[in-house]
Structures are given as C-alpha cells and as structure tokens.
Amino acid sequence: MSVQEVVFASRLGRLAGLRSGSPQGPRVLALHGWLDNAASFIPLADTLTALDLVMLDLPGHGRSAHLGPGAEYTLSVSLNAVLDAADALGWERFALLGHSMGAGIASVLAAAAPQRVQRLVAIEALGALADTVEHSTTRLRDGLAAQRSASRPLRVFPDLAAPIRARVLANQLSEASARLLVERGVRMEGDGFVWSSDPRLMLPSLHRLTEAQVRQLITGIECPTQVVYASPAQPYLPEALRNERAALLPRGELVVLPGSHHLHMDTPAAVAAVIGDFLSG
C-alpha cells in the first residue's frame, strides 16, 4: 500500500497530510486525535485500499504549520482547516473519518456543513467536549492566565526511544502504533529530537460549549453516521453519556468493540471490518 505526502495551501498556513488508496474511490478525509497526527490512520489505510483516503495533520500537529503568534487553537480553526483542505482537493462532497478530538471536529462539521459531508465515522468521540455554564468564569480566567504565562523550553530527546515509551505509557498504545505517531510527531533540533506539535495545544481553552449545545449540534447531523466506541469507556466520555449522545443521531448506528482508545491503530482489522463497507457506500 502506497502512502504519499501531500501539502495544502490554507488561510491558516501550511497543511500537511498523507494520501493513500484509489483516486477513483470514495473520498474520505481523516482527522486524528489531540497531539496525534496523520500517521494515526496508517494502520487502517493498509486495509481501506478502495478509498481515496486523505489523512490530515490538523493545525499545530504533525507536519502542518503552527498558528501565528497570539492565535488560539479553537474549534473554528479546525473546521476551517478541514474545509480548506477539501477545497484544495477540489472535493465538494466527501466523507469524514475522525478519531477522538478529530471525531469531535468531524461531527461538528457534519452539523455545520451538511451540504459538504456525505457520511461520518466517529471513533471514540461524538460532539465536542462540554462544560457547565457555572464554570465559564473560572475557565476563562485560567485559560487566559495560561496563555499569558512564559512558555517552557522544549525537551530534547537524544533518540526516539524515550518519546515512543512516553506515548506507550500515556495512551496504552502498542509500541508499533506509538512509533508511527512519534516518527511523524517529532523534528530534529540540534543533536536530538523535539515534539513538532505546537506547545500551545497544551493550553486550556478559554471556553467550551455546554452539553445542551453539543446535543443540539448532534441532532443537526443529517448524513448517515457510524459511531465506534471502545470498551471500556474513556473517563472524558463515560458510557452513559456517550450512549445518550449517539442516540440523538437522526441516521446513526453505534458499534462497540473491545479495545483501547486507539483501537483503530492497535486493532485496525476489526475497525476496518466495521467501517469499510459504510465508507464505501
């Protein structure tokens, strides 16, 4: 299976990614999770060869450009980046495949631009992370203070062993999956390696949607949608909440598979067996 590097011009700066599969196949844009990158979908790409699969590095991730000084990574930044990539490809209509944060972005975009999104596969998330109205002031104060504080110097690794080990421990990933993410997620700095992702991605957001707003957006997803959750559920999206959200989809199907949060990387055959026919439909 051949994977090619691709680069897109965007109003937000350079967008990088990977492309695989068949140019004549169904068009699918894949969006990775927080602090991951396009390599997140390489294991699935090995199986989904009938698709025209474009795996995007979201702004500040992988080999895509960081935002300019003073800018904040927000949901609207990600939504516009995805549409900029689709426009650069000449894709008026396409499917979205998202994992974790990428699934949240994809589901919100499906609601916001139903004329563009034909199908949606959301792995390990549906809708954005929510917060309560009562937490608005505290979140704004904490987020602004973090943005105004001095940045820390980047940690330099002499080789890839330490960052790979860090990803294995932090995300319960297999070593092979962690290596894929790390190799695309670092850059050379002097005699060693540093993370290529923008350190500002670690800052808390200034505001979040409420759960009521997230649920209203989910009800606005008009396209056929397949939601894939791993069991057990992640703490940020408990089982009861994730099931309630999935039940709001007008044209949704929920599948639960045993596995970790990165099940699309560690058990790609099982995930591909679920989503392959759906994305080809």
Q: Where are the alpha helices (DSSP H) in the chain?
A: 42-45, 75-89, 101-112, 136-148, 161-171, 175-185, 211-219, 239-247, 263-266, 268-280
Consecutive H or E run containing 37: none
User: Among residues 10, 64, 100, 107, which one is catalytic?
Assistant: 100
Residue 22: which residues within 8 A CB-CB, separation 6 or more? 49, 50, 51, 52
DSSP string, 213-240: HHHHHHHT--S-EEEEEEESPPTTS-HH
Q: In terms of C-beta density within 10 A (0-12 exposed, 13-18 middle, 19 or more buried), how is residue 162 classed?
A: middle
Q: Is 100 a catalytic residue?
A: yes
Give, in order, the Cα–Cα distances in Å from 81 to each of 20, 65, 75, 84.
20, 11, 10, 5
The CA distance from 266 to 243, in Å, is 23
Active site amino acids: 100
